[in-house]
Amino acid sequence: MHITAIYGSPRKGGNTDLLMEACLHGVHAGGQSVHEIFLRDLHFSPCIECGGCATTGICVLRDDMDLIYPHLTSSACIIVSAPVFFYGLNAHTKAMIDRTQCLWVKKYLLQQPVRIPPFSEGHGVLLSTGGSRGKKNFDGILLTMKYFYDALDMKLTRYLTFHGIDECGAVTTHPTALDDAFNLGKEISASIESLKGVVP
């Protein structure tokens, strides 16, 4: 079963990278393999709202998003790690999400299947940290992620968010964060295992 991990942070080895690594240790401990994507190493344009996908459901821009689309449409689980910037997603992650407008078009306007093959269910997972301790620090990104996964015909089923994490590596001083991420990875692995024999 296909699991994709998308590292959204521009900072290599930063807090959300560390959360993802801990989570994937849990996934591997459960016997599953993962395809990893590092957005900071790719080159792609944000959506230019040209309407080119309106009749085909296919983005007209040719860039490194072409490396990402197949995983977005074929994964039983997609894990995204991304930091909060000004109460929203960082630019790399938001640009990728905006480029899935073509998949939204395919699903809602063209009423065509998005996922190949169409899994009976799909898991969307978010790992995030934010420097602010504000109560609404993650409200914006959770809404964005909910509808990102919806465009992929998936659901945001689990998320881990941690306030007051800013300095590089600060997540390692949190009393539970890395253990929480590891345990979530094990849960993801078990849930994927349970889909075997269910998915056509």
Buried b / exposed e over 133-172, threshold 16 CB at 10 Å, is eeeebbeebeebbeebbebbbbebbbbbbbbebeeeebbe
**Per-residue pLDDT for 122 more than 90?**
no
Q: What is the DSSP string of 113-175?
A: --SSS--S--EEEEEEE-S---TTTTHHHHHHHHHHHHHTT-EEEEEEEETT--STTGGGGSS
Burial class (CB in 10 A: 0-12, 13-18, 19+), 74: middle
Token pair 């934010």 is found at 130
Work out the pLDDT band at 193, boundaries 50, 70, 90.
low
What single-letter amino acid sits at 42?
A: L
Work out the pLDDT band at 115, boundaries 50, 70, 90.
confident
Q: Could you give the domains of the chain?
A: 3-195 (3.40.50.360)
Q: What is the model's pLDDT at position 108?
A: 96
- In eight-state DSSP terms, residue 30 is T
Rounded to an integer, what distance in angstroms lies between the CA atom of residue 111 and that of residue 104? Answer: 9
pTM tops 0.85, yes or no: yes
**Per-residue pLDDT for 173 more than 90?**
yes
The residue ranking higher by pLDDT, 116 or 173, is 173
What size, in residues, is the chain?
A: 200
Tens of pLDDT, residue by residue over 55-99, are 999 999 999 999 999 999 999 999 999 999 999 999 999 999 999
Work out the pLDDT band at 160, boundaries 50, 70, 90.
very high
